[in-house]
Amino acid sequence: MAQAMSDRGEPGGGLGVLPQVAGAVEWLADLVADGDVVVLSGAGISTESGIPDYRGETGRLRRARPMTYQTFVGSMEARRRYWARSHLGWRHIVEARPNDGHRAVAELQRLGLVSGIITQNVDGLHQAAGARDVIELHGSLSRVLCLGCGRRSSRERLDRRLRAANPGWEARPGMINPDGDAVLDDADIAAFNLVDCEDCGGVLKPDVIFFGENVPRPRVERCYALTERAGLLLVLGSSLAVMSGYRFVRHAAERDIPIAIINRGPTRGDAHALLTIDAPLGATLTSLLAVLR
């Protein structure tokens, strides 16, 4: 694994965009220039768009316990809490715009260098930047799923229905947690009205994978297949702390597929990586594009 100075001036495990480590970006450019790059992105690529992550510099995992699938399906009050908080938090997600990192990934794909994109994010910002055929490993907040009949519908329609069901409901979030979860007072949550599936009256759930829920096997197999065809697995903005994404790094390593990682801070996959870069995603990927051009 490469050893160099990060842009924080710390030894080892980090390569950045400062002059003293610019060679690292050139090395990465040599790897990317061969093409067949598969991108595996995490929350760290979206923090520059104002969306906090769970474990990075903006992470709040220790302060905010995310909703689990078991809790959501097992309690109407848990669903009321989730949808009240998400109803406000969704506005924060939908207003977010792609940043330089998202745009760089889309441009690398347009240049024919990126052959596939797997994202652990549910914010849709890769697609908003122009990326195509993105595999959304954990689903998307832009869709809603009925647990009764399986119907999928748009989050925009649900937003309109929730507004109509809650006239005069106004709440001010204390802060926005990852995945559009807004912190609210108990009184605001208690006053929030839920809506059910328009077709069957079933329970509505965001079309995302909650903690404690499994990613559908066909989606996982598609990601494995894409990884196996990669000339380089490029991890962007993920600590790889969760097996859901880390398994593809292990899969690549077992097949001697080169792995490069750009992330703020160490990751679970560093020992498998040919190259690690500890630096801001937007600036580093913009520099990478400049070298490739």
Query: What CA–CA distances, in Å, run from 24 to 1, 13, 15, 45?
Result: 12, 11, 6, 19
Catalytic residues: 138
Answer yes or no: is 261 a known binding residue.
no
Answer yes or no: is 265 a known binding residue.
yes
CA dihedral 232, 235, 241, 245 (to 10 degrees): -60
Answer yes or no: is 62 a known binding residue.
yes
Answer yes or no: is 153 a known binding residue.
no
Answer yes or no: is 61 a known binding residue.
yes
Answer yes or no: is 172 a known binding residue.
no
Residue 185 has which token pair? 């007072």
Angle between helices 100-110 and 281-292 (to 10 degrees): 30
Answer yes or no: is 86 a known binding residue.
no
Answer yes or no: is 46 a known binding residue.
yes
Are 84 and 265 in contact by the 8 Å Cβ rule? The answer is no
Answer yes or no: is 95 a known binding residue.
no
Q: What stretches of 13-160 adopt beta strand conformation (E)?
A: 37-41, 114-119, 134-136, 139-146, 152-154
DSSP states along 175-219: -EEGGGEE---HHHHHTPPP---TTT---EEEEE--BT-PPPHHH
Answer yes or no: is 183 a known binding residue.
no
Answer yes or no: is 43 a known binding residue.
yes
Annotated binding residues, written as ranges, equal 42-62, 120-123, 146, 149, 197, 200, 237-239, 263-265, 281
Annotated binding residues for Zn(2+), written as ranges, equal 146, 149, 197, 200
Annotated binding residues for NAD(+), written as ranges, equal 42-62, 120-123, 237-239, 263-265, 281
